Structure 1
Amino acid sequence: MIRTAARLSLLCALALLGCDSDRRAPAASPKPSVTPQPASSASAAPPPAEDRSAFALPAVPRLIALGDLHGDLAATRAALRLAGAIDDKDHWIGGTLTLVQNGDQVDRGDHDRAILDLFERLAEEARAAGGAVHALNGNHELMNAQGDLRYVTEGAFRDFEGIGGLDLSHPRLSMMPPMARARAAAFMPGGPYARKIADRKVILMVGDTVFVHAGVLPAHVRYGIGKMNRETSAWLEGQSASPPAAVLAEDGPVWTRRYGGKDLGPDDCEVLGRALEGLGAKRMVIGHTVHKEGIAPGCDGRVWRVDVGMSAYYGGRPAVLEIAGETVTPIKSP
């Protein structure tokens, strides 16, 4: 194991834009913002009709949402079994179930690659059975694509060594310790794992429920939900030189803490209401902010916080959120 001081030095080196003790990704210059209008302003305008196909799917009879997994394969399996999605050999048994994972599958644990590969396979198995698996991109997936590997463990570095399609000669990698280069090449825009997560959405709507890692603000609706998804995908595919500023902003959909706090105030709920109205949605499901006490509703059930800190890093217990028609039910592990 790397000793504490040496590991801190390594983590600082891996944050290409600097070293910062804050959880927020460091930046060379202030992040752009998509700051919402004051609470008294008009509701967010609905996205154009032709744009909805980029993020909206029809309602389904039963849907399960999972929060942040952070590299813990055991917790991931436990949550999927709690949902009735997989058997004891990790194969899909969910039938027509639709499952949404709210991002942050990676970092803080050793099993990032195994979790990413598991969800890719389960999506294929679910599709064949008439169901669906949708994994979203969270801030940690996009941090890896930016080259910010501060939260990667030793085991999660090693797992990416020797895989095909890595451009280990890229100049960006010369700044990194040798042990980090394979992982960095895998997630670098255009790299094999960046292309895998390029298929994932930042914001997804199923029926009247919107799913996002951190939160959708009215300004995001005005900007265009489909536009955010397309810009993120193009960047991860290596087709765009710049990361999507609106997505990665301090108040972007993978970073905002507006709805994550335990005590949401009237202003927070009013902003949430305008975002939901603009989307034509009844509720929002988010991760990003840990609630170890369990899945936490807010604003009279219009937002559900599903990051229960189930990974070993946080020490929480697996839990999932079931949505069946108008009934929303948290399901906790025994």
Structure 2
Amino acid sequence: MDYSAGKVTGKVTCGDLPLLISSFIDTFIDFTVSDLFFPPPLSQDLNPVPSLSKSSYPSPERLVAIGDLHGDLQKSKLAFRLAGLIDTSDRWIGGSTTVVQIGDVLDRGDDEIKILYFLDKLKLEAAKAGGTIFTMNGNHETMNVESDFRFVTKGGLDEFKNWAYWYSIGNEMKSLCDGLPKPKDIFHGIPSSFANVKQDCHDGIRARIAALRPKGPIASRFLSKNFTVLVVGESVFVHGGLMPNHVTYGFDKINEEVRDWLIGLKEKVSPEIHRSSNSLVWLRKFSHEAADKCDCSTLEHVLATIPGARRMIMGHTIQVKGINTACNDQAIRIDVGMSKGCIDGFPEVLEIERNSGLKVLTSNPLFQNRDDRTHAESASKERFGFLIPEHSPKPIQVEA
């Protein structure tokens, strides 16, 4: 009997009934809290989740980078649709495309859990079609793991409260089956009330702590599969930025330590990885919107110590002018504040095709209806201006 690929193989007997019941309950809970039907299980030779023990991957034919989503499911889907990755029914049509979502799914919006499920579903569908989706942790993921809920919305608390209700119902159903281990109370050790918190928020906060604390169901299932730093071809992806000490420490080690922390195998992670102002998820030295205020010399040094690296792609700091570059195109900033909880920006994604440079795909109407190529190039210069050097042979193209 084999359950490793999410399906039963071989002859099913009465003794298998508890596991089948557990699988049915889990599927029912997933659908109830996410409104999603997941695709059929993958064969064992297809793994939708790239291993965190490997932080560097070869350059694909097509690479798409998507910035901070912050709880806005509608804008998240628009970004994927803009890149031709999903159809109008939200099914993967991106073929063998590789996608990197740069982190900050949590906070500022009401659909955080739904986005996590949405990305998980697309990982399965993409893997089946030969594509890959990498997801990453941002500072808002690590903040929530440590119960820092400063940027949570009331709708976000309600979503986690709803999740906890159904998850607890599922555990009660499993506890009735003699062939299954008794589930642990997800609220174990969490206070029933909190000082200086509105009465109607207590249950949502308890649910959020239960879900996102180390070893919590949401942290373990979703966040633990996220990268903290990732290299794909010539591009280094990180939510905030990298300093020389991070390169010396080792990317594989960073990813594994954060994962072990999230699944409860490690008590804490170095502040230089996830908490200090110079950590990977908080750094802003290369993302200031004024290019002349970026620490380009440090960035150049960091990239020079990473074999084959040509550019660093970051989120974290909202770029009100949209996706842009700095430091002679070595810093690519892709957080456009698209969430309604941020600046309600126009969805944009970065596309990198082998041998054809960088391209911004945008929903901004300013860059639509540009049949005349001269007008398109003029609009691109007007928009990016000082951020793209005049001598650059391949400025970022802007396409609607």
Structures share fold, TM-score greater than 0.5: yes
Given that residues 336 and 347 in structure 2 are in contact (C-alpha distance below 8 angstroms), is that contact kept between their aligned partners in structure 1?
yes
Deviation, structure 1 residue 250:
1.6
Matches within 5 A, 1:12-51: none
Give the whole-Å Cα distance in 2 for the aligned partners of 1:73 and 1:328: 26
Given that residues 99 and 132 in structure 1 are in contact (C-alpha distance below 8 angstroms), is that contact kept between their aligned partners in structure 2?
yes
Give structure 1 regions of 4+ aligned residues with deviation exceeding 4 angstroms. 172-176
Deviation, structure 1 residue 137:
0.3
Given that residues 287 and 331 in structure 2 are in contact (C-alpha distance below 8 angstroms), is that contact kept between their aligned partners in structure 1?
no
Given that residues 96 and 129 in structure 1 are in contact (C-alpha distance below 8 angstroms), is that contact kept between their aligned partners in structure 2?
yes
Task: Quote the residue 2:182 is aligned against.
Answer: none
Match of 2:207 among 182, 205, 226: 182
CA RMSD of aligned residues (A): 1.9
Does 1:317 pair with 2:346? yes
Task: Quote the residue 1:228 is aligned against.
Answer: 254
Task: Quote the residue 1:170 is aligned against.
Answer: 189
Give the whole-Å Cα distance in 2 for the aligned partners of 1:124 and 1:146: 29
Matches within 5 A, 1:1-334: 54-161=54-161, 162-164=165-167, 167-171=186-190, 175=194, 177-195=202-220, 196-248=222-274, 249-265=276-292, 268-280=295-307, 281-313=309-341, 314-326=343-355, 327-333=357-363, 334=365
Deviation, structure 1 residue 227:
1.3
SS at match of 1:65: strand
Q: Which of 1 and 2 has greater Rg?
A: 2
Deviation, structure 1 residue 276:
0.8
Given that residues 228 and 244 in structure 1 are in contact (C-alpha distance below 8 angstroms), is that contact kept between their aligned partners in structure 2?
no
SS at match of 1:231: helix
Summarize the Cα distance change of 1:173–1:122 in structure 2 as closer, same or farther, 3 Å threshold: farther
SS at match of 1:304: strand
What number of residue pairs does the alignment pair up?
284
Tell me which amino acid in the other structure corresponds to 1:198.
Answer: S
Give the whole-Å Cα distance in 2 for the aligned partners of 1:332 and 1:107: 24
Deviation, structure 1 residue 246:
2.1
Q: Which runs of 5+ in 2 are unaligned?
A: 1-51, 172-184, 196-201, 366-400
Summarize the Cα distance change of 1:329–1:156 in structure 2 as closer, same or farther, 3 Å threshold: same
TM-score by length of 1: 0.81
Q: Which runs of 5+ in 1 are unaligned?
A: 1-51
Given that residues 102 and 315 in structure 2 are in contact (C-alpha distance below 8 angstroms), is that contact kept between their aligned partners in structure 1?
yes
Given that residues 173 and 184 in structure 1 are in contact (C-alpha distance below 8 angstroms), is that contact kept between their aligned partners in structure 2?
no
Given that residues 239 and 315 in structure 2 are in contact (C-alpha distance below 8 angstroms), is that contact kept between their aligned partners in structure 1?
yes
SS at match of 2:87: coil
Query: 1:90-148 deviations in whole A, cap 9, x for unaligned?
Result: 11110001110100011001010110110011011101100011110000011110111
Using CA pairs under 8 Å that are at least 6 residues apart, name the structure with larger relative contact order, 1 or 2.
Answer: 1
Summarize the Cα distance change of 1:157–1:275 in structure 2 as closer, same or farther, 3 Å threshold: same
